[in-house]
Chains A and B, each alone.
Chain A
């Protein structure tokens, strides 16, 4: 949070750019942190820049013991099978077929053949992604960054977290509030919202924990992956 706020208040990074893609092409902004959409735009719609630019890993925060944390979010879509379905086996077979390498690769190829290079399909299947039609150096960077994929745990009421982080940043940058105070205020609000939602879903009752809510952590996800077939 401090880094995010200080880069704008003290280090003078431009707070808003109307269009990074345009500014990059004109040479106004030499470097930026952006998403897949900007990548595709620069790859396909900036022919004068071919070979003159490159991508790299996310900037890392260096912890006290010297390790570098490059965690970043990256999930877009997911699939879900409802537990009350009458066809669980078929749904699972369908999802396995859809996410299999062959299907993903042929879907990717068909999209590009029919609609052009801008329809690059960013497959979640790592094997299929390795066969995507982008330069090998970029692929290596992306695959390495993929190791550092982590999403914030989604619990009932977590929309407040994103909103309050935004509001706290706004308070720090525009109202000059001390970061610690801004974050403290936000934490109170986020906690209150999470409590409200937990009460609504029956995990808390009048402030007393009734049911255990398992917060999905990255170790839990890894365990699920190992226990699957």
Chain B
């Protein structure tokens, strides 16, 4: 009985194989995987890939959102490099200063705090992780309630009334309107709300490091915890470090709204808080020169891509990427 059944079975299978063409065979094996990914791929193409391509194309045109774009070649890029003095005097230095402090600074801060949290037992660690992560989620509400009252320009603002009471200053300082202080405050507020997804990923990576490595290292002669961090912890959590670095990079260069919200005016007074995203919005939405704004955004994209390559070279190892 069994053999006859198996014989029948054996007769069935080759017939089916012959009837299947290459495509149907492929479809059976990998079709379901592709169909599950297709949802994401379609949305990615529509919302991320297509706008990038269109922005690249628009950057070579003159487009004022009402008439059809007029092709003008590289003129936008030439204007950006030679004639745009707001870009050269304010936007580029501001962006580089902001990115240099908030990017690595926020990243190192995230790593240090994650490392400190990894030493704690489970319950305090969870509570502190929630406390440190919440600013990145609530930055809008926190902005209105905390930062604007803290740095408010009249004598009733918290910082002003504190300093006035101690007689350190005689008149209230305009924190959010003065070009000297606005940048510093923007950096502070962004650092405070930079413990985002990258922080959580690094915490997870830290907790995942094999404790046997630490024991082996102690036997091998590592003297203090600092050496432990450099030689064992960081190399073991390279994927998480890379993820944190990319997230920090992207969010730093995308930060633009913070200056506008803090100072209450767009563009910020004397362009003190003008970052490259503000510059793009200025040319795009206030002056209706979409082609030029697209050109600036392509420059931003190239900057972020270059730095991203740098981060990948620094952090990735052959096993993962």
| Residues in chain A within 8 A of chain B (CB atoms) | 12, 14-18, 28, 159, 163, 166-167, 170-171, 174-175, 200
Contacts and interface: CB of A to CB of B under 8 A. Distances in A.
B42 interface: no
Contact of A159 (B62, B179, B271, B286): B286
Contacts of B153: 15-16, 18
B152 A170 contact: no
B139 interface: no
Nearest to A169: B269
23 contacts: A14-B155, A14-B172, A15-B153, A15-B172, A16-B177, A17-B154, A18-B152, A18-B153, A18-B154, A18-B156, A28-B156, A167-B269, A167-B270, A170-B177, A170-B178, A170-B269, A174-B177, A174-B178, A174-B179, A174-B180, A175-B179, A200-B64, A200-B289
Nearest to B153: A16
Interface string B158-189: 00000000000001101001111000000000
Contacts of B122: none
A33 B75 CA distance: 46
B154 A15 contact: yes
Contacts of A174: 174, 177-180, 270
A166 B174 contact: no
B149 A18 contact: yes
Nearest to B79: A196
B62 to A, nearest CB: 8
Nearest to B179: A174
Instruction: Pick the most buried of A15, A16, A171: most chain B CB atoms within 10 A of its CB.
Output: A16
Instruction: Pick the most buried of B174, B180, B286, B289: most chain A CB atoms within 10 A of its CB.
Output: B174
A144 B120 CA distance: 71
Interface in B265-321: 265, 267, 269-271, 286-287, 289
Contacts of B178: 170, 174
Given A16-B152, A18-B152, 7 more contacts: A14-B154, A14-B155, A14-B172, A18-B156, A159-B286, A163-B267, A166-B265
A171 B172 contact: no
Contact of A15 (B156, B177, B287): B177
B91 to A, nearest CB: 15
Contacts of B270: 167, 170-171, 174
Contacts of A16: 152-154, 174, 177
B179 A170 contact: yes
A49 B22 CA distance: 85
Contacts of A159: 286-287
A149 B137 CA distance: 46
Contacts of B179: 170, 174-175
Contacts of B286: 159
Contacts of B156: 18, 28
A82 to B, nearest CB: 11
B105 interface: no
Contacts of B69: none
Nearest to A17: B154
B56 interface: no
Contacts of A28: 156
A18 B157 contact: yes
A7 B154 CA distance: 15
Contacts of B172: 14-15
A200 B148 CA distance: 40
Interface string B189-216: 0000000000000000000000000000
Interface in B48-87: 62, 64
B93 to A, nearest CB: 17
Interface in B235-281: 265, 267, 269-271
Contacts of B174: 15-16, 174
Contacts of A14: 154-155, 172
A188 to B, nearest CB: 11
A17 B154 CA distance: 5
A200 B156 CA distance: 47
